[in-house]
Structure 1
């Protein structure tokens, strides 16, 4: 049997692609911007904080990354349509959508009000649904496929004892959305997948990386569940993201990629 004829040239290439990163000023959003921008994609970056977005746009410009900023969250149909329209106006279309926005509200269920629960669901689930709907319609009209990447979590698969009833529920819903749209849009050449991290270095988790007794005790308990024996770094998310945004993943859709050091395997 002869060797398969596999051309790896450009397998992970995204240069020149038009990519929307929603929630671009957050921890995973910045990883997405840095990864796709460094690989040559042209970015539309969105966030709710005007100041944070301006700072990110300036930083991307200094790095030589072609980026357009849109000061909107995916709260409404009009917001999402405006984000997609900005990509079309700037770069002629939409090839990649990364939804990195989201929130958490930690409280035991007896203390969590319905309004607070609903805010988590709106930000993490409805926002992703609305944004995918707007970008997906454009991708289907373009007729050459596309890539959609949601942000899930290990908590979409696993529970948590410390007040995560809203967050776990929302991320399980994101997983369901990933699978549903993967099935629905496969015939259009649009792949839909999600990256599900566990703890990785960010402003919110910086305390876990500190050299003190409290952080060490927390790490010891957590790392007992992580086969690779360390916490995650931002670059641990870059590889899966580039894979899911490039033609390397053309036969992968409806999947949840756990970037967790094996946390969910055991």
Structure 2
């Protein structure tokens, strides 16, 4: 039996993102803000993008004692804005190594009551913006010719329906999942990896009512917890370990995957 190769480096070094230039969109949201904080503490150099300019300034101010941070007060509504995000990252940090697309939105309501504008708004924010950011980032990563990692925030609702009026959100997240797979296939030859992280309900301003100690919150939690083997709802920090894994060299052979951060929800 051949001898095992000697271990010459610490395996945990594979998980390092120190010094990497990472663009985070939706950086003022619950997941984007938590991700930015974790990446800053891990030593990544950050470009933070978001439509709430004043909140973006606050997030950046908190993180600058930890790492180099630049901000872009934009959403990717058109190709020029997506290009501006990537240009800002390269201008501030000389290169681009990773991208987290954490921006998005939802309109909830029965399909019979949603407007076409509501539907288009969700698809634009979740699918079109992701596509535009990937397009701009992909051009830079391909030009650098040194690989890279793109992480799209999806949802368990890209796999499952929902009875409470998610006829726009569910197909939008399914679109995000297939975008990750399509780009993983398209860019694999260049060493550029594309994956999606798909959480279930996590604590945020939008979901605070689900965590509240009232009849509505308790009823919703009980329904959710009945299908979550780990027996709790998610916190934003549950997102960061998987994110650092996907942005680091530890996931060098992982691409085109949807990683469900759901406590086992999709297993039931």
TM-score by length of 2: 0.96
* Equivalent residue for 1:17, pick from 7, 15, 20: 20
Deviation of the 1:213 alpha carbon: 3.5
* Equivalent residue for 1:173, pick from 172, 175, 183: 175
| 2:52 counterpart of 1:44 | no
Using the alignment, how far apart are the partners of 1:96 and 1:14 within structure 2? 9
User: Which stretch shows the higher mean deviation, 6-15 or 123-132?
Assistant: 6-15
The aligned runs of 1:164-203 (5 Å cut-off) are: 164-203=166-205
Using the alignment, how far apart are the partners of 1:165 and 1:9 within structure 2? 42
Q: 3-state DSSP class of the match of 1:86?
A: helix
Using the alignment, how far apart are the partners of 1:118 and 1:130 within structure 2? 16
Q: Deviations over 1:141-172 (max 9, x none)?
A: 00110000000000000000111000001000
Deviation of the 1:191 alpha carbon: 0.4
Deviation of the 1:9 alpha carbon: 4.6
Q: Which runs of 5+ in 1 are unaligned?
A: none
**Contact 2:43 / 2:66 at 8 angstroms: preserved in 1?**
no
Using the alignment, how far apart are the partners of 2:184 and 2:5 within structure 1? 28
Q: How many residues align?
A: 265
The aligned runs of 1:1-266 (5 Å cut-off) are: 1=1, 2-5=3-6, 7=9, 8-61=11-64, 63-266=65-268
Using the alignment, how far apart are the partners of 1:36 and 1:9 within structure 2? 16
Using the alignment, how far apart are the partners of 1:187 and 1:5 within structure 2? 30
Deviation of the 1:65 alpha carbon: 2.7
Using the alignment, how far apart are the partners of 2:117 and 2:215 within structure 1? 37
Q: 3-state DSSP class of the match of 2:13?
A: coil
Deviation of the 1:64 alpha carbon: 2.0
Deviation of the 1:226 alpha carbon: 0.2
Using the alignment, how far apart are the partners of 1:49 and 1:237 within structure 2? 22
Q: 3-state DSSP class of the match of 1:32?
A: helix
Using the alignment, how far apart are the partners of 1:262 and 1:3 within structure 2? 35
Using the alignment, how far apart are the partners of 2:32 and 2:194 within structure 1? 17
Deviation of the 1:53 alpha carbon: 1.0
**Contact 2:180 / 2:196 at 8 angstroms: preserved in 1?**
yes
Q: 3-state DSSP class of the match of 2:202?
A: coil
Using the alignment, how far apart are the partners of 2:42 and 2:171 within structure 1? 34
User: Which stretch shows the higher mean deviation, 69-78 or 205-214?
Assistant: 205-214
Using the alignment, how far apart are the partners of 1:196 and 1:5 within structure 2? 36
Deviation of the 1:201 alpha carbon: 1.4
TM-score by length of 1: 0.96
